[in-house]
Structure 1
Amino acid sequence: MSLLEEGYECYREGVFVRRSAESTSFTLGNVVVAKDSQIAIDIKNGATVDIRNLKVNGAAFTTVGENSKVRGMNLQARGAGVQINIGSNFRCGNLLLVAQFGNVDIGDNVLFSHGITIRTSDMHSVFDTKTGERINPPQDVSVSDQVWIGQDVVIGKGARIGRDSIVAARAFVSGTVDENTLVGGTPARVIRRDVTWSRDDAP
């Protein structure tokens, strides 16, 4: 079944969008889609999606959950079957997401501050000089439910951020962050365990 038969509309050449009747809005700025490439963007009820720059080389599928607000996103997707899943009640501003031969999964009720970067690869290959083996393959990135990411954080390939965790501003995360943990620094290290957080403004 084609994307058009599944309810997607051809928004621009190579860009297919499916919106629920109650979706708030979808805006798209600059687009570069390579030959024989496409991206499908599925936007659920009440979501607002603003993609300022989009580059696609391959076939990518993106889902944005209900009532999510994606503002000022710069999205690059490269590879066959790349999947980017964003859960419900997600918030972000000025996000750079580079999914290169790797998938990105973001859970529900996740809060991103401004200037966040997510990368599933190092962009360039690194090889062992003796064996010729590549030693830095792309890896998926996962952010669990109820995670708060501070300003200017970089989330690298292979990162796994556990539920109800906090990443302090300007940290670099490439490994596993346990649930209910506060991390910070470059590379990120544990600052405190057994924490939780609320979206309510501090008094």
Structure 2
Amino acid sequence: MQEVNGLNVEVKGESNTIEFDEETKFLRSRIMVNGENNTIILGSALSYTNFVINIKGNSKKIVIANSGKNINGLKIVSIRGEGQIVSIGDNFSCGGMEIQMNDENETLTIGDNCLFSWGIKARTSDGHSIVDLSTNRAVNLPKDISIADRVWVGEDVSFLKGSMISSDSVVGSRSVVTKAFESPNVVIAGFPAIVVKENIKWDRRRPSEYNDGQSE
């Protein structure tokens, strides 16, 4: 096991690549890899706190781009299957998120300048099979998850397989996203989530601060 700036790294297997910015501060963070031909690339950030990657299997890839924000409580787990990909864009910030990818070849993508709260979960598969008795085939196959640029996600949101959020959108707290939302500039919320408001954008400033800025 190797420790650099608070990041513990444990690797078992051959031809694995792990790259990270050694100037970035890590606190209570760990990477565990057991397999071959896996790639992990972490860009710079203000800090990574309670950050965990746990990979078992082969040919998996996790890439997090540079961020000028804090990335807290991000946990990425892929302990079954082969070839999964996680891609997170520039200036991602997070209070707490768990990503589970445990089937085959799924991809989870998060775009640039996304703001994620805490208690968020994303699952690209159900983990176990639902079988059609007439065909004896599993019907709940894994599906990719895609979240576009400039998406704000509230606390305790769940993204299930096949979820898609378009750009400049907001996902309300405790929503359960079960499908693709192709229209940008919307607020979605509910269980299951639906569009509740259209023609919006969002801003990191407080509402009163934002309005004061518009009146100047």
Asked whether the two chains share a fold, i.e. TM above 0.5, the reply is yes
TM-score, normalization by structure 2: 0.80
Which deviates further from its counterpart, 162-171 or 99-108?
99-108
Q: Where do 5+ consecutive residues of structure 1 fail to align?
A: 1-9
More helix by share: 2
- The amino acid of 2:121's aligned partner reads T
**In 2: Cα distance, 1:133 partner to 1:175 partner:** 22
**In 1: Cα distance, 2:20 partner to 2:164 partner:** 29
**In 2: Cα distance, 1:158 partner to 1:164 partner:** 19
Contact 2:70/2:94 (<8 A) preserved: yes
1:108 is matched with: 112
**In 1: Cα distance, 2:76 partner to 2:44 partner:** 21
Number of aligned residues: 192
Aligned with residue 195 of structure 1, among 200, 207, 214? 200
Trace 1:164-175 onto structure 2 (pairs within 5 A): 164-175=168-179
Q: Label 1:53 to 1:20 Cα distance change in 2 as closer, same or farther (>3 A).
A: closer
Contact 2:10/2:32 (<8 A) preserved: no
Q: Label 1:98 to 1:87 Cα distance change in 2 as closer, same or farther (>3 A).
A: same
**In 1: Cα distance, 2:36 partner to 2:97 partner:** 23
2:126 is matched with: 122
Shift of 1:48: 3.3
Identity %: 30
| Cα deviations by residue, 1:42-65 (Å, 9 ceiling, x for unpaired) | 122446334544432213211111
The structure that has the greater radius of gyration is 2
**In 2: Cα distance, 1:64 partner to 1:47 partner:** 13
**In 2: Cα distance, 1:125 partner to 1:185 partner:** 26
Q: Where do 5+ consecutive residues of structure 2 fail to align?
A: 1-7, 209-216
Trace 1:16-165 onto structure 2 (pairs within 5 A): 16-20=17-21, 23-27=23-27, 29=29, 33-34=33-34, 36-37=35-36, 39-46=38-45, 48-59=47-58, 60-67=60-67, 68-77=69-78, 78-100=80-102, 101=104, 102-165=106-169
Structure 1 outlier segments of 4+, above 6 Å? none
| Cα deviations by residue, 1:51-106 (Å, 9 ceiling, x for unpaired) | 54443221321111111532112221132221101101111112111122311100
More strand by share: 1
| Cα deviations by residue, 1:132-175 (Å, 9 ceiling, x for unpaired) | 12110011100000001111000010111000011100000021
**In 2: Cα distance, 1:31 partner to 1:108 partner:** 23
Which deviates further from its counterpart, 25-34 or 49-58?
25-34
- Superposed CA RMSD in Å reads 2.3
Contact 1:47/1:66 (<8 A) preserved: no
**In 1: Cα distance, 2:57 partner to 2:50 partner:** 18
